[in-house]
Amino acid sequence: MNEFLIKQTDDAKDLPLPAYQTELSAGMDLHANVHEPITINPMQIKLIPCGIKIALPQGYEAQIRPRSGLALRHGIGMPNAPGTVDGDYRGEISVPLINQGGISFIINRGDRIAQMVINRIEQVRFNVVDELPESQRGDCGFGSTGLAAKTTE
């Protein structure tokens, strides 16, 4: 397992560090670093600090994703999901949460509000050309592959 650098902010030393909840979890839970309960009303967005700063080595990013249980049970998601933490960002990680449910939702100190997935990335350069190679799909876009599963007969 790789080891990366993490620092808790001075006001978050009592909060758990991001952690995997099971052996095969892809994401580590992030905790709310709030000092009093925060209410998110329906269709409202609030930025929730997590009390951590990280240093990722070259070739890595952190993706911040909603927690599926909060989305299913309460309509709590992220308006920019997934959010990206670039390798050169050193500020506190915060999560914009949106309440897409029908009733207000309260975030308390230490609540697990999102998950962080660490991914390898590769930077690329584009080579400008006059024509692109043909493909089976071509330029057919949104919805062009249909809704139903394709069958092979």
Quote the DSSP letter at residue 106: E
Domain contains 75: yes
Residue 153 has what pLDDT? 63
Higher-confidence residue of 147 and 67: namely: 67
Contact 15, 49 (CB under 8 A): no
Terminal Cα-to-Cα distance of the chain (whole angstroms): 44
Residue 101 lies in domain:
5-120
Domain contains 11: yes
Total number of domains in the chain: 1
How many other C-beta atoms can be found within 10 angstroms of the C-beta atom of residue 49? 19
Domain contains 76: yes
Domain contains 30: yes
Domain contains 129: no
Contact 47, 83 (CB under 8 A): no
Report if pTM > 0.95.
no
Domain contains 133: no
Residue 2 has what pLDDT? 84
The predicted-structure confidence for 19-30, as pLDDT tens digits, reads as follows 999 999 999 999
Model confidence at 83: pLDDT above 90: yes
3-state secondary structure 17-79: CCEECCCCCCCEEEECCCCCCEEECCCCEEEEECCEEEECCCCEEEEEEECHHHHHHHCEECC
Domain contains 151: no
Average pLDDT, the chain: 95
Residue 23 has what pLDDT? 95
